[in-house]
Amino acid sequence: MNALKLRDLLLLLLSASVSAEVQNCVTQTKNSTSDQPAADDTIYVGLHVATDSTFRACSPFKDEALREYLSAFVKAVSLRFQALESPAVKVMFLGSSELTREQELKIIGNEKSVSSMEVKGGDAIKHMMDITTDVEYVGTNKLFYILTALNVTEEITENKPNDKVPIPSDSSEDYSTIESSEERSAVVARSMSNKNKYGNVFGLSQFGTICSISGAISQDNGRDFSGVTAAAVQVATVLGPRYKGSITRRYCPDYDDVETPFHMDECSRIKLSLTQKAGNGDGDDDYACLYEKIEDSQSNGETPSTFFEKHRGWTPCGMAFIGSTECTEKSDAAVPASACQMSCCIAQSILPSMAYQIPAPDGTKCGEGSKVCVDGDCVAFSAQT
């Protein structure tokens, strides 16, 4: 009897020990699984860059050099996202093209010089949808992106209800002539700002539209990558709730004294997105296209820094301030420069030399290890960007 009780006690202890071991194993497995990153938590955005006539007129780069500039431009945009990990964002260059005359008339709305001219961004975004459809970018992670030298505003052409349809005065005047005249008037009206009511916002796009029907436009001088920051904002904007970084996008306070119709529409999009996120998670199904790898990238890995190293006839200082060169150590006018800042001097025959400070080109090596300059700061560089 005592032997039987002893056996039962031993079996009970053994069972408890096995159960504890199994529980411990399950717990360790769960912890191990949760510590592992997702198989591929990277999202991909491809940019096809189209340039208008004002951009090309302002840029000294032509043909292959211009294409390399645009590739380096997109690489610089990608660098603005390179610190992100959850999810990581890769921005890729899909190639470039020139807007046709017809496309430019619809989207940009003018054939005038850069001075005193602006693009009505609200109109531009609307007219870009036709191109997005034609190139089969609808529902993809590929973005049709326009660079212009003009200011970009949020203005939208308003339809006037009392507009009258003109009637030919005689049989010799046909409707096609009147229509083309009306088109020209609309072009001028669209490109000329109404008493500067709308300020330059540098770029425009719509929140969270990347996997539906999307387009973006921003300003760049075609010389020194001046529009990279604005372009990064547009990419972050079209990513909508899937972007988790620190790039500042549209601010939508509860009360806003300065509102444009475009701004109000965008804030409605953003607030709706936040509401949906609170109720149904991130809405990943709407952005599934972002996880599709882009196989037709035309990027050669060139950054603004390597671009200027390759084309030594053009310098960062000379492109930022015409006639300037990087200051020498002997120059009295030099502005103290850090690893990611450059001091540019303009020699003058009578007056003392003048100096200006500019950020070093994105991708310039700095500090120790693999750090590079991004927007004037020295940051760790990921080779996966």
* Closest alpha carbon to 216 in 122, 115, 87, 91: 122
Q: Where in the chain is the domain with CATH 3.40.390.10?
A: 42-160+172-306
How many Å apart are CA 358 and CA 254, to the nearest integer? 37
Tokens 């669209």, located at residue: 190
- Give the per-residue pLDDT at 123: 93
d(CA 213, CA 132): 7
Q: What pLDDT shows up at residue 37?
A: 39
Cβ-based burial of 327 (10 A; exposed 0-12, middle 13-18, buried ≥19): buried
With contact defined as beta carbons under 8 Å apart, do 235 and 249 qualify?
no
Per-residue model confidence (pLDDT) at position 299: 84
Return the pLDDT at 277.
Answer: 64
Rounded Cα distance between 151 and 219, Å, is: 6
CB-based burial label for 213 (10 Å; 0-12, 13-18, 19+): middle
The answer to whether 98 and 51 have CB atoms below 8 angstroms apart is yes
Residue stretches of the chain with pLDDT short of 50: 4, 6-7, 9-14, 16-39, 113-115, 164-165, 173-195
pLDDT tens digits, 27-76 = 443 444 444 334 468 999 999 999 999 999 999 999 999 999 999 999 99
Which CATH superfamily hosts domain 42-160+172-306? Collagenase (Catalytic Domain) (3.40.390.10)
**Strand-pair category, 215-219 with 354-359:** unpaired
Instruction: Enter the pTM of the model.
Output: 0.78
